[in-house]
Structure 1
Amino acid sequence: MNTKRVTFPNVHGELIAARMELPEDERPLAYALFAHCFTCSKDLKAVVNISRALSSRRIAVLRFDFTGLGESEGDFSATSSLGGAAVLAAASNIPTTTAIVTIAAPFNPANLRKMLGISTEQVEQTGQATVSIGGRTFTIRKSLLDDLESQQPTETLRRLKAALLVMHSPRDQVVGIENAADIYRAAPHPKSFISLDSSDHLLSDPRDSSYAAGMIAAWAGRYLVLPDTSTPASIPPEVIDNRVIARTTADGFRTELFANGFPLIADEPVDLGGGNEGPSPYEYLLAALGACTGMTLQLYARKKGWPLNDVVVRLSHQKIHAEDCRDCDEKDRRIDSIERELEISGELDGAQRQRLMEISDRCPVHRTLTGEVRIKTILRPV
């Protein structure tokens, strides 16, 4: 994952802290602006998960802290940050907006007072109210409440010029599912709704945020204008030499891979400390051998004119003691053992099948694994 720190001033000149999540080659198909939920931050786990999942699908995402939250400067009580409601209100002022997504968004921001249990009497007397959210204390000014109550969500939604995707959980205990129904009814077509089923308001379970990200990326793909690939564009040095890039973050073992322009994910099983969000490195190794084996057999059969249909390769890997290997020289160490099973379909005779099994040992990846390999490591300055 390619994450860049960004700052920009708000209307009062205060610096807003942000992160830009980019594909590894820094050539996104589209850009997304992520407005987080009330009193949350750009570093909320669900925000990070969705942003990174979208960037792995070549959608760059700018996630930022609203004024006075997270790493941003300013006074939170002097601003408002209602995520989905904010982007709905702002969309009409951004003509390049193609698609909008709301996640657990309130329909009417004016309901904030009731949702937070803010006393009308206290606000009228002091001009502000103090509320506790998620164990943290926040000051809410009367000006903020007055601004929210002046919003006209129905009229705002009717003016939308972009496609809309509404995502909400029927079990949301903070913002009820009826808000999603109201947003959907008020908005013009094209519009879609996806239920987040059993997730909570903040999509605390990583599986829920991963699901949401996948659905958003698939849905948004219908509205993206893909670039013309007939004319090569300027390509960064990292991509010109076609290197595979792997980036492992500090939280767990989840690794973002970028190979020949294709995003992949690697991870470790839960019992090994990972999140099981993708194949393990050894499983990718077996996948490479399996793919290379199948391709090699198909290429050989085509050259021979043999009626080979499908090739299925099943592989497993384990560590064994060298003493259990009759062809091993050193008997006091453990070695890697890969078992490969071939399933070949087609009108082939016994001699042809035997020959294809022999040819499987000639696939380039097989030769790499069984040959002498040198790995040179250099440390790149940061």
Structure 2
Amino acid sequence: MPTEKIAVTTAAGHELSGSLELPTGLVRGAALFAHCFTCTSQSKAAVAVARALAREGIACLRFDFTGLGGSGGEFGRAGFATDVEDLVAAGRYLADRFGDKILLVGHSLGGAAVLAAADDLGFDRVAAVATIGAPSDVPHVLRRIEGDLDAIRAGTTATVSIGGRPFELSGEFLDRVEATDLLAEVARLRVPVLFLHSPTDDLVGVENASALFQAALHPKSFVSLAGADHLLLDARDAEFAATVIAGWSTRYLPLRDDWPMPEEGVVVRSGHGKFGTEVHTPAHRFVADEPRSYGGDDSGPTPYDLLLAALGTCTAMTMRLYADRKGWPLEGATIHLSHERDHEEDCEHALDGEDGQIQALHRRIAVRGPLDDDQRRRIVAIADKCPVHRTLEGHLHIHTRAED
């Protein structure tokens, strides 16, 4: 996926560092991802969810909360209220840039933060909220802090350990964490909510999901991440959660009206990244790209891949039609196609106004089924009669007209 580096300025004046995962094709909406407590936007869950959403046409911003990763500010004085303020600032950036309502997604304490931020951001700007392993009470995170919290409450700034990493915390941080009634925030939500939680989560028990689900109004949904750990360290768990959220969110971020299907032919529209494009047929949409070695993002087939695919699929269909008409027991076919050409040289010739040349297309065909030798020979021979083959070898003229 194409990735754009983003900096969002907070109300406190410091910048939040983020990565905006963009769809290769057109953008149907935008999403904001909040990472887990003391994690960063580089966590497996953050990257997996953001890129899964981008594959569905949803631009997703994953960013570092105040004082973490590449973001400015002091983590030790921030606390939960600052996380919510960060989300509001980032959410407004997305809403202003992409328009319409945005999706909020949060992992662990980030999940609690997006539940609390929806109201502050404004329900008119929020399409839906999804959480992964979120606690039902924000002070729950204090149990992960190793240090003298009583001394910090008394006014002493001290170094504590969170997940084996040292952090400087102040009394202000603890006050901001302990002052939040998350269940009351959830009860005020007026947007669709999805809760994902593992029943074997040993950091934030699944009873937290039950409490959140009970407090929320419909429409609300729950998905069990059976066998997953809290941080989704297994890439398969992170991908599963990402796929579920991406599929669920498309219900609340519908395709835009300016994405019409053509009545005939094919429409190709520029997308994101250096070469990203989106292809629209009367009934289908898909993306095309170039490999990373040529400066693309490798998020879809190349133009020559599509050319070979057109020949290969037409070949398979023609052989099937021929065998069926003859009543022959063709069970299937495998066609391997390749081409000889210098891709970079072809493009350079085209830019210079010269004729590039595809030297040759190679096609290897294997047919399956209880066929005799004559049937096999005749089925393979009919491949040369397929419409795409005849078009490529015929006298083809391409007429180009500029439009406003």
2:335 touches 2:363 (CA, 8 Å); kept in 1?
no
Higher share of residues assigned helix: 2
1:341 maps onto 2:367 in alignment: yes
Partner residue of 1:267? Answer: none
Matches within 5 A, 1:198-217: 198-217=227-246
TM-score normalized by structure 2? Answer: 0.67
Partner residue of 1:18? Answer: 18
The letter for the 1-side match of 2:382 is I
Among residues 89, 105, 109, which one is paired with 2:116 in the alignment?
89
1:24 touches 1:258 (CA, 8 Å); kept in 2?
no
Partner residue of 2:260? Answer: 230
The letter for the 2-side match of 1:245 is D
Matches within 5 A, 1:347-362: 355-362=378-385
Shift of 1:137: 0.7
The letter for the 2-side match of 1:44 is S
Partners of 2:241 and 2:151 in 1: CA distance:
39
Which residues of structure 2 form unaligned runs of 5+? Answer: 84-108, 281-286, 338-361, 392-404
Partner residue of 2:224? Answer: 195
Which residues of structure 1 form unaligned runs of 5+? Answer: 261-281, 318-335, 369-382
Range 72-81 or range 109-118, more displaced: 109-118
Partner residue of 1:7? Answer: 7
Shift of 1:351: 8.6
Partners of 2:51 and 2:370 in 1: CA distance:
40
- The 1:66–1:240 alpha-carbon spacing in structure 2 relative to 1, beyond 3 Å, is closer
Matches within 5 A, 1:222-301: 222-228=251-257, 229-230=259-260, 235-236=269-270, 238=275, 239=277, 244-246=288-290, 248=292, 255-257=298-300, 291-297=313-319
Partners of 1:187 and 1:165 in 2: CA distance:
10
1:298 touches 1:308 (CA, 8 Å); kept in 2?
no
Matches within 5 A, 1:97-112: 97-112=126-141
Shift of 1:63: 0.6
- The 1:144–1:363 alpha-carbon spacing in structure 2 relative to 1, beyond 3 Å, is farther
Identity of aligned residues (%): 40
1:293 touches 1:313 (CA, 8 Å); kept in 2?
no
Partners of 2:152 and 2:53 in 1: CA distance:
41
Shift of 1:201: 1.3
Answer 1 or 2: higher relative contact order, Cα 8 Å, separation at least 6. 2
1:290 touches 1:313 (CA, 8 Å); kept in 2?
no
Shift of 1:28: 1.3
Partners of 1:308 and 1:224 in 2: CA distance:
48
Note the alpha carbon deviations across 1:209-248, whole angstroms, 9 max, x for none: 1111111111112222221233889943853899831455
TM-score normalized by structure 1? Answer: 0.71
The letter for the 1-side match of 2:179 is S
Moved over 6 A (4+): 231-234, 240-243, 284-289, 299-302, 305-311, 349-354, 364-368
Partners of 1:158 and 1:192 in 2: CA distance:
15
1:248 touches 1:256 (CA, 8 Å); kept in 2?
no
Partner residue of 1:51? Answer: 50
- The 1:344–1:101 alpha-carbon spacing in structure 2 relative to 1, beyond 3 Å, is farther
2:199 touches 2:225 (CA, 8 Å); kept in 1?
yes
The letter for the 2-side match of 1:236 is S
Partner residue of 2:66? Answer: 67
Partners of 1:310 and 1:214 in 2: CA distance:
37
1:185 maps onto 2:185 in alignment: no
- The 1:204–1:153 alpha-carbon spacing in structure 2 relative to 1, beyond 3 Å, is same
Total equivalences in the alignment: 321
2:17 touches 2:64 (CA, 8 Å); kept in 1?
yes
2:330 touches 2:367 (CA, 8 Å); kept in 1?
no
Partner residue of 1:29? Answer: 28
Partner residue of 1:278? Answer: none
